[in-house]
Structure 1
Amino acid sequence: METRINAFEKGKKAMGALFTLSGYLKKATIERELLELVDFRVSQINGCAYCLDMHSKELRAMGETEQRLYSLSAWRECPYYTSRERAALAWAEAITKTEVTDEVYRTAKEAFSDEELVDLTLGITTINTWNRFNLAFANTPGSYQVGMFG
């Protein structure tokens, strides 16, 4: 693979803006474990190996089970996700694939307050942006350590 620019080094202002968003999300109304689960699922959809490595490690450190991680791409068929998690995963998939239907919106509104839904949407759009940066500039998976970015 061709060597690519280091976006963290050459794009400090842009990366700083993303880190600010990520910092906000750590204090958001949505529980951290749910945001990590959504981050992992969106990273699966986008095929971002670096983010899959990162979020699987963070989830395991939070006590997430291997069974739930391995089954996440088939969450609709698995009994071990809560209704709130299912609503968040459906919302994440809809936004990531740009197919937000009225039904998906209604389900999300039943599970989340207005503020929570805005924070969840910000989380989803932020991980999509991180995925695209990591795919464009080819960050190597495997090097992430739990808590590395705060």
Structure 2
Amino acid sequence: MSLRLNYREANPESFETMIKFESFMAKSGLDKKLYELIKIRASQINGCAFCLDMHTKDLRKLGETEQRVHLISVWRETNDLFTEEEKAVLELTEAVTLIANNGVPQELYEKVRTFFNEKQYVDIVMAINTINSWNRIAISTGMYPGCL
């Protein structure tokens, strides 16, 4: 596998735009572990090895257990390993990442809103969109773990 191009060098302005998204998310108040769960689940769905490598390491640095890191992709089958709040966010991450399949059903919106207010809901949707953008950049430019 080889890197197709270094988009950061080819178009620094695009990289700066993405960094602004990350800066926005850092100021949003969204729990850091929850944001990493979002990043990992979306990256699993999208098949982004570069992002999975980065964000599983980041989640471990935040003190997450190996068991939870390894079982994010099968969160539904883990019984009580993830909180109801985390499960709602993981389900929303899947729905938004795969939005063409079923959109975001009203029932899911209401489930997420039991845990989060309107601003927080928008923050979560922005977090999901941000990692989906990173995934698409990494995959389309041929990024892989350790390439940069």
Same fold (TM over 0.5): yes
Q: Mapping of 1:1-150 within 5 angstroms? A: 1=1, 4-78=4-78, 79-98=80-99, 99=102, 100-142=104-146
| Aligned amino acid, residue 137 of structure 2 | F
Q: For 2:113, what is the secondary structure of its paired residue? A: helix
CA RMSD across the alignment: 1.4
Q: For 1:111, what is the secondary structure of its paired residue? A: coil
1:111: Cα distance to partner? Answer: 1.3
Contact 2:3 2:144 in 1 (8 A): no
Instruction: Give CA-to-partner distance per residue, 1:15-72, whole Å, 9 cap, x none.
Output: 1111001011112121111001110111000000000000000000000111001111
CA distance in 2, matches of 1:111, 1:2: 43
CA distance in 1, matches of 2:136, 2:11: 14
Contact 1:49 1:141 in 2 (8 A): yes
Q: For 2:71, what is the secondary structure of its paired residue? A: helix
1:143: Cα distance to partner? Answer: 5.8
Contact 2:2 2:142 in 1 (8 A): no
Contact 2:3 2:147 in 1 (8 A): no
Residue-pair matches, total: 144
CA distance in 1, matches of 2:42, 2:143: 17
Mark the CA change 1:130 to 1:107 in structure 2 (over 3 Å): closer, same or farther: same
CA distance in 1, matches of 2:7, 2:61: 27
CA distance in 1, matches of 2:43, 2:16: 21
Structure 1 runs of 4+ aligned residues shifted over 3 Å read none
Contact 1:29 1:115 in 2 (8 A): no
Q: For 1:94, what is the secondary structure of its paired residue? A: helix
Structure 2: runs of 5+ lacking an equivalent: none
1:3: Cα distance to partner? Answer: 5.0
